[in-house]
A and B are shown apart, each in its own frame.
Chain A
Amino acid sequence: MRTRGRQPTQGRHPRVDLLEAAWMPAGFHLDSVPAEVRDHLEGCPECRAFLDELVATRRLAGALPAEAEVSLLEVQAAVRRAVAAAGRQAAVAQPNWRERLGFVLMAGAMLGAQALLLELLEPAGFMAFQVALNWLAPFLFYIIFRLDNRVTDKRAGET
């Protein structure tokens, strides 16, 4: 790729152009350097030395391979681990429709029971029921969360 849209500054060392040319993905080719820069290079030993160093740096960088050497078995094992981990995450993140329906039904049943008791009991009796329910609420929540966790853990173990 040519360094288009930017002319090397007249009378100054075109270091930026040289750096870009030396670090092109396809490697350094003198042809890819703008003509003005090539002219400058011919008369400037400093820039030639700079370019040589950049090219040598690039060559040294090539000592490292782009891909890691890793056996197919290791790769397959890593991918399987990732698939299993993603499956566990998905199971934890998404409660299934039966759980959701269960919670909705439970909330509906509680509301229905309250409405019925409001009809059947005297105000004092209903208040006593409310107090008992308030006291029991944390325990109920605890049981529900424990059940939910057990269901989730079981499903996660299956993936």
Chain B
Amino acid sequence: MPDHELESLVIAAKAVDRAASTSALEALLTRVYPRLLGYALKLTCNRCLAEEVCQETMVRAITGWRRYRPVRGRAGVSFQAWLFRIATNVYRDIRRKSARTASAGRPAPGGGGLAASAEDEAIHSIEREAMMEALAALPEEQRAVLVLRTYHDCSYREISEIVGCPEGTVKSRLHYAVLALREELRRRGVL
């Protein structure tokens, strides 16, 4: 998922003084928010929960901004991967703590709050709905890996950094997730 323009903006934002760096971070967050919310929506399958995850992710990103090291050669982590890692941890924390655990895996109606705009709306909305339901039916760890690979073009290494497990585990989770997704879509009659 390398977004080279974003990464150069991140490096520029880190290079300026502290006050300017914070306002540059706000601009970066504004830019990356739709992607972050897209990830959180598919991870949580719940619009309210996804917004809560994004909010807490941004708070942690702002407070931890000074500790963040952008990609330089083989060191560091991309800004988006860093945010996604925080979001994944925030969601885990919420799942652990919250009494709303029961609703956290429930798919939101209307394609999980992803607003539709395509011309063939009817077909698309059925497919979206089925897809969100199928995603929601996957185990949480498999879902995160599948979403990162499918929608954010993450490499296995990036996914392993985001979800905090070895690359081999990422591969096997992806395999199980794809097979489970296929079964879920079959069961819903869209495949």
- Majority secondary structure of chain B interface residues (helix, strand, loop or mixed): helix
Q: Which residues of B contact A75 (CB under 8 A)?
A: 30, 33-34
A79 in complex: contacting residue of B30, B63, B179, CB < 8 Å: B30
A: number of interface residues (CB 8 Å): 34
Binds A, one of B12-20, B70-78, B92-100, B145-153: B145-153
When the two chains form their complex, are residues B55 and A53 in contact, meaning their CB atoms are under 8 A apart?
Answer: no
Report how many residues on chain B are interfacial, defined by Cβ distance under 8 Å. 50
A interface list, Cβ under 8 A from B? 16, 19-20, 22-23, 25-26, 53-54, 56-58, 60-61, 63-70, 72, 75-76, 78-79, 81-83, 85-86, 89-90
Closest to A84 in B: B59
State whether B58 touches A66 (Cβ < 8 A). no
Does B105 have its Cβ within 8 Å of any Cβ on chain A? Answer: no
Contact A23 B151 (CB under 8 A): no
Among residues 110 to 169 in chain B, which have CB atoms less than 8 Å away from a CB atom of chain A? Answer: 111-115, 117, 124, 127-128, 130-132, 135, 149-155
Known: A65-B114, A66-B35, A75-B34. 16 other contacts (CB 8 A): A22-B178, A23-B174, A25-B149, A25-B153, A60-B191, A64-B128, A66-B151, A69-B114, A69-B117, A70-B37, A72-B30, A78-B54, A79-B29, A82-B59, A82-B61, A83-B62
Does B7 sit within 8 A of A, measured CB to CB? no
| Subset of 22 A-B contacts with CB under 8 Å | A20-B171, A22-B178, A25-B155, A61-B151, A64-B42, A64-B112, A64-B131, A64-B132, A64-B135, A67-B34, A67-B37, A67-B38, A68-B38, A68-B41, A68-B114, A69-B117, A70-B33, A70-B37, A75-B33, A82-B61, A83-B22, A83-B26
Least distance between B86 CB and chain A CB atoms (Å) = 12
Question: Which residues of chain B are within 8 angstroms of A78 by Cβ–Cβ distance?
Answer: 33, 51, 54-55, 58
**Do A68 and B34 touch across chains, with their CB atoms under 8 A apart?**
yes
B26 contacts A54, C-beta separation under 8 Å: no
From 29 to 73 in chain B, residues with beta carbon under 8 angstroms from any chain A beta carbon are 29-30, 33-35, 37-38, 41-42, 50-51, 54-55, 58-59, 61-63
Q: Which 5 A-B pairs have the closest CB atoms?
A: A82-B58, A86-B62, A25-B153, A68-B37, A69-B115
Residues of B contacting A86 with CB < 8 Å?
Answer: 58-59, 62-63
**Cα(A76)–Cα(B34), bound, Å:** 11
| A67 partner residues in chain B, CB cutoff 8 A | 34-35, 37-38
B185 surroundings in chain A (CB, below 8 A): 57, 60
> Closest chain A residue to B57 by CB distance?
A82
